[in-house]
Amino acid sequence: MTEYLATGGLPDEYEQLRKTVADFARTVVAPVAAEHDAAHTFPYEVVAGMADMGLFGLPFPEEYGGMGGDYFALCLALEELGKVDQSVAITLEAGVSLGAMPIYRFGTDAQKEEWLPQLASGRNLAAFGLTEPGAGSDAGGTKTTAKLDGGEWVINGNKQFITNSGTDITSLVTVTAVTGVRDNGKKEISTILVPASTPGFTAEPAYNKVGWNASDTHPLTFADVRVPEENLLGERGRGYANFLRILDEGRIAIAALSTGAAQGCVDESVKYAKEREAFGSPIGSNQAIAFKIARMEARAHTARTAYYDAAAAMLAGRPFKKQAAIAKLVASEAAMDNARDATQIHGGYGFMNEYAVARHYRDSKILEIGEGTTEVQLMLVGRELGL
């Protein structure tokens, strides 16, 4: 994908997708973003519109109800949505890369046939239950357990910060759980599919968050939740390794979302700097403002180049762990830095929640935390360098 930047444009099919999503973001998402953010309401009508466009099925084959595209196509959509509303963008990102993708990557034929069509259509959402009160970056600290009993898994434990887990259209949560102990004494962690209607499964009241207020996020409780043994997703004991693969891919998607947020701050700042006058001229004519916006544009461009490069490596079947970590690191920091600078450029208006830059200021911090903190990305890059 990096060659596309060098040649000045994307192939027609990618560019048409980008333009279509950009138009949807501008005409459908942006007008209601402030309202949903203020009310902390999930934008069902926007999600339905994305479903109608086929965005939830972008990287999946047509045989499962998908659009037959690829992960880069998903990333382009996320960047355009992220420019105007991160809550909407993360709903799509989590629904696809964390919700449906584990089933596509590791599911049996029967699991794919049962779950993927509804998830790819966007009629339903799935969530990925990984993080726990005592197991965030240290996912190996998982305490949720799953024990076999009469051909069923009995699951007990708690998860937290789980996106898309409590909406009216949530149909499934994939749960990491300790299913035994290995010969070396370490935990055997597996992943298990839990339908949202299963008795004992509870999506607790939603969090009161700093940002991403229109995104659905809940703590989850599993109290003697029983699901069939065949709901095991992938090989028993491979849950830890499989979720690492999912997170590597997801970091590219989060980098794309972050790039959109960074670029959205540039776009809003350019517009404001041309319109806002002080001391008899537009503030953009002042070098201090112009230089600040120029640095913001450089950050967004660098972030875009990084996630394009990571996506290219992934789709070519090459190792991409380091590139994904770099992309996530660079793009999330670009989003946060640009949000801070955009708020400063807007002055008092930047502190008002109805302005997009104010939402980006509140929303962007989580980009440096979710799906691997900044520190985790630095650790991964260091390891890939042999350190």
Q: What is the DSSP string of 294-324?
A: HHHHHHHHHHHHHHHHHHHHHHTT---HHHH
Contact 26, 80 (CB under 8 A): no
Separation CA 89–CA 214 (nearest Å): 10
371 noted as active-site residue = yes
Q: Cα 141–216–355 angle (5° rounding)? A: 120
How does DSSP classify residue 132? B
- Report H helices in the chain: 2-7, 12-24, 30-39, 44-53, 71-84, 86-93, 101-106, 109-121, 239-275, 287-315, 321-346, 356-363, 374-384
Closest CA to 222 of 187, 181, 176: 176
Q: What burial class does residue 27 get, using C-beta atoms within 10 Å of its C-beta: 0-12 exposed, 13-18 middle, 19+ buried? A: exposed
Asked if residues 16 and 76 have their Cβ atoms less than 8 Å apart, the reply is no
Query: Of residues 79, 80, 249, 371, which has the active-site annotation?
Result: 371
Give the count of beta carbons closer than 10 Å to the beta carbon of residue 160. Answer: 18
| Catalytic (active-site) positions | 371
